[in-house]
Chain A
Amino acid sequence: MLGKLIKHSFKANASAVYNVYIAMGIVGIVMLFLMLIDWTSWGDRGITMGMVFKGIAAFALCLTALVGVILTFVAVFGEFERSMYSKEGHLTFTLPVKSSSLLLAKWISGSFWVILSYTAFCLCVFCSTLYLMRQSLAMVEENDVAYSVYEMVRMLIDELSEYGGLIKVPSMTVVFNLVTLYGFNGGIRACTFVLQVYFGITLARCRPFHKIGHKLGKVLYFFGAFFVTFTFAQIVTKLISIHLVISENMFTFTISQREVETAWSLGYGAMGITNLYVTAVLSVLLFLITALLIDRKVNVD
């Protein structure tokens, strides 16, 4: 049943946001098209025009991605509220499934779309930046985007190192591991964010918390959940700060700040994991509380 719930929830969200991804694809194609045009054949004026059009296209791509993030939020959270607590709730709550399965399906589907919108936004900003930089940086090599970006970042870090001397440029493998881990970190936080909103919406429907009204209630209770999660994670991180040191082929845990600094200076990477771990645990707790509220306290109007 969980699979079917996820399928229907996924389709409900997709029907609201697919237009944005089509728009992103179209803008991307326009950008490629503008890149293929030989603007120099129109002389200096053509080169200037080409720069302007490319700038507009890059800006449009970033803007479309930003709209995509906002629309995804509206679609995911709107769909949750509509399907659970409006007239559609009469259908949802009479399905022979557990409340926790309902919530889990919404959570998985909602998190997927939110993470996808974040990823699309980051990729669009990244591609737009690279697209514009290609025009001005001769060092960027054709057909090797990853290498090109790496070279650019390395150049930037080399510049910074001349002043601070604290960071050595990590190898591509370490950079890849770091990006993967930081991506995972971002994913967990996106999932937590989605659940915090679901919790806020749900609590605003429960007695006696509904008395301040659904609209105000869901905002207040979301910020309450966000504040509690954030503060608790920060406090625990202050007390026990554990880092994961990432080298070329090894991951090691450390609680020493000096070891973290040494890792960066040796060309390795490091990521604090206490905060992430506490946030993940609190997410599970928030999920259980929300499922319990749905099971015991929520009424469908």
Chain B
Amino acid sequence: MEPMEQMETNNNPVMPEGEHAQKQYAFKVRNLTKDYDGNVVLNNISFDIPAGKIVGLLGPNGCGKTTLMKILAGLIHDYTGVIKVGGRSIGIISKAHMAYLPDSTYFPERFRTIDCINYFADFFADFDKMKAVQFAAEFGLDLNQRVKTMSKGMQEKLQLLVVMSRHADIYLLDEPLGGVDPAARSVILDIIMNNYKENATVVLSTHLVNDLEHSFDHVLMLGKGSVLVNTGIDTLRATGKTVEEIFKEVIGDAWEVD
């Protein structure tokens, strides 16, 4: 099947840098290519992600979702192409306004819950410490418990609570429901949906399309190193199909990465 047309992609390689453009798009990506020792994961992709939307970043395993997230978060540097976050290059300012939740746990084992909260409070001006402490209580996390004594699920909750305690302009959430049992998924999803800053952009990567499709405003599907779909949810629904059905159709022959 031919990849679905990228309905809202601006193919003009010259990016507007004005304030209007900054407000309109959270991310503008042009000609992005990334390979791992010759294996191309993202192949010359270009797309825009509109600001103030909940964006589903969908694709099969190995299609480059995590790589793309890491590049946007400033963790991967050796790529080619141009990326603008709110009209600026990736740097201190973009990081100050972006809350990133990786797909793995990252707090040092010696940290206690309160240390993690204080760490975020030290570095992020938009961090709401009271909210984080309140979250910890709701999650049943002891403020003095050390990370090394927590289960993986508790560590994931801890990371989620500190990330969602920020009043960021952009939230990059990499597989927040990955490895979580179905009962906990709705709880985590509620936390995300009820706590992000108003008018912020939330980019959620997942392969659990069914659980999340009702939350998305916009969908970006990756496969075979390319952008297969980049469109608003209303446009997708106008086709009379669910996101999951479209996902299966589009991804069908795109499981393999070139």
**A→B interface (CB under 8 Å):** 1, 4, 8, 12, 15, 82-83, 87-91, 93-98, 206-207, 211, 295-300
Contacts and interface: CB of A to CB of B under 8 A. Distances in A.
Contacts of A297: 77-78
A297 B77 CA distance: 6
A77 B98 CA distance: 29
A44 to B, nearest CB: 52
Interface in B86-142: 92-93, 95-96, 98, 100, 102, 104-108, 110, 119, 122-124
B3 interface: no
Contact of A8 (B102, B104, B106, B119): B119
Contacts of A300: 70, 75-76
B70 A96 contact: no
Given A87-B102, A90-B73, A298-B77, 10 more contacts: A15-B110, A83-B108, A87-B104, A90-B106, A94-B73, A94-B98, A95-B95, A96-B123, A295-B77, A296-B77
A211 B96 CA distance: 33
If over half of A's interface residues share one DSSP class (helix, strand or loop), that class is named, otherwise mixed; here it is loop
Nearest to A296: B77
Contacts of B73: 90, 93-94
A97 to B, nearest CB: 7
B74 interface: yes
Given A1-B123, A300-B70, A94 B78 contact: no
* B interface, size bucket: 20 to 34
A88 B108 contact: yes
Given A8-B122, A96-B95, A299 B76 contact: yes
Contact of B75 (A8, A93, A98): A93
B40 to A, nearest CB: 14
Interface of B: 37, 70, 73-78, 92-93, 95-96, 98, 100, 102, 104-108, 110, 119, 122-124
B36 to A, nearest CB: 9
A87 B106 contact: yes
B149 to A, nearest CB: 15
28 contacts: A4-B123, A12-B108, A82-B108, A83-B108, A87-B102, A87-B106, A89-B75, A90-B73, A90-B75, A91-B106, A91-B107, A91-B119, A93-B73, A93-B75, A94-B73, A94-B95, A94-B98, A94-B100, A95-B123, A96-B123, A97-B92, A211-B37, A295-B77, A296-B78, A297-B78, A299-B70, A300-B70, A300-B75
Nearest to B76: A299
Nearest to B67: A299
Which of A87, A91, A206 counts the most chain B CB atoms within 10 A? A91
A98 B74 contact: no
Given A299-B77, A299-B78, A90 B95 contact: no
A240 to B, nearest CB: 39
